[in-house]
A = this chain, B = another copy of it.
Amino acid sequence: MCAPFVLEDVRQELSRRGFIAAVAACGAGVAAPAAAQQKQVRMPKGFRDVVDLTHPFSAKLPVYPAYKPIQVRERFNVARDGFAANEVTFDEHTGTHVDAPSHFVAGGVSGDRIPAAQLIAPLAVIAIADRAAKNADTLVTVDDLLVWEKRHGRLPSGALVAMDAGWDARANSSDRFLNRDAKGVLHSPGFSEQAAHFLVDQRDIAGVGVDTLSLDGGAAQKFVAHLTILGAGKYGVELMANLSRIPPAGATVFIGAMKHEGATGGPARIIAVI
């Protein structure tokens, strides 16, 4: 149902006709709770499920040290201006986001130049959440990748290979997500140097994803996974959500990377279809 002030706003503008239609449409959707809407949503033809791998992007979401949280500032609102619009400011590597090669490689491919066809990818999920629950410094190893291949076949060409460390469940707490020790060192899973090399040297992937804030383990002294993956012209995806809802093999993921010129990366809407 729509609140009366909503109807009033619509009625004022749709003066000549369409008010009844607007009320009907409103009852059908405008103010329905998101959960109820979700139930009514028909799956796109040819897919049996759609999973949003994107965290809601807000100032509460953990950010990697050096970056600041997103700011959303109202510029226009419906009551005063007849329409609403915000100004948004963020550091590129916040929220669920893409790392372009240019994030770590001077002269590397920027986000706006990643070919669109690479942003639609077979999704391979490497599940290490059980291990990560016991050891926050655990890394995806070459063995993990070979075990995946033994079960599901060779990693597909053009794949996004994503680590599910169960870290998205910590997203409501920066302390738990960053997981600093007494010395300030971060502890979170990532890709080992060897696994990163295996993926870019031995397989034909499009990118590497993590549900943490970094392709490298939090405690890494150098960004070797970043440098290896981005240095090979592949992209990274960080702070992914809901990977535990995706089968290890068979899903397709759409990486809705921002396309501002010279992007070193940026927030992305990431949606998987199964």
Chain A 72-91 near chain B by CB (<8 Å), digits 1 or 0: 10011111001111111111
Chain B residue at minimal CB-CB distance from A5: B106
Q: Tell me if A18 and B228 are in contact (CB < 8 A).
A: yes
Which of B43, B86, B232 is within 8 Å of A92, CB to CB?
B86
Minimum distance in angstroms from A139 CB to a CB of chain B:
16
Known A232-B22, A259-B57, A263-B86; judge A41-B120 contact (CB<8 A). Answer: no
- Stretch of A8-16, A165-173, A182-190 lying at the B interface: A8-16
User: What residues on B are CB-neighbors of A43 within 8 Å?
Assistant: 117
Distance in Å: Cβ of A25 to nearest Cβ of chain B: 4
Tell me the bound Cα distance from A44 to B158 in angstroms. Answer: 7
Check if A95 is an interface residue, CB within 8 A of chain B. Answer: yes
Classify chain A: how many residues form its interface, as a range: 35 or more
Instruction: Find out whether the CB atom of A115 lies under 8 angstroms from the CB atom of B85.
Output: no
Instruction: Give A160 Cβ to nearest chain B Cβ, in Å.
Output: 11
Asked whether, in the complex, the Cβ of A269 is within 8 Å of the Cβ of B252, the reply is no
Flag A233-274 by CB within 8 Å of B: 1 or 0 each.
Answer: 100000000000000000010111111111111111111010
* Identical copies in the complex: 2
B116 touches A50 (CB 8 A): yes
Within residues 219 to 238 of chain A, which ones have a CB less than 8 A from any CB in chain B? 222-224, 226-228, 231-233
Q: Does A55 lie at the interface of the complex (its beta carbon under 8 Å from any beta carbon of B)?
A: yes
Q: How far is the CA of A6 from the CA of B176 in the complex (A)?
A: 36
Residues of B within 8 A of A104 (CB): 78, 82-84
Provide the bound-state CA to CA distance between A79 and B56, in Å: 33
Of all chain B residues, the one with the shortest Cβ separation from A100 is B84
Asked whether, in the complex, the Cβ of B105 is within 8 Å of the Cβ of A57, the reply is no
Is A109's CB within 8 Å of the partner chain B? yes
Provide the residues of chain B in CB contact with A89, threshold 8 Å. 87-89
Asked if A118 is at the interface of the complex by the 8 Å CB criterion, the answer is yes
Contacts A57-B112, A78-B105, A233-B30 given; does A158 touch B42 at CB 8 Å:
yes
**What is A's interface to B at a CB cutoff of 8 Å?**
2-3, 5-6, 9-10, 13-14, 17-18, 21-22, 24-26, 28-32, 34, 37-38, 41-47, 50-52, 54-58, 66-67, 70, 72, 75-79, 82-93, 95-96, 101-109, 112-113, 115-122, 156-158, 193, 197, 200-201, 222-224, 226-228, 231-233, 252, 254-271, 273
10 contacts between A and B (CB under 8 A): A6-B106, A13-B222, A13-B227, A21-B197, A26-B231, A56-B112, A70-B260, A83-B264, A87-B89, A87-B92
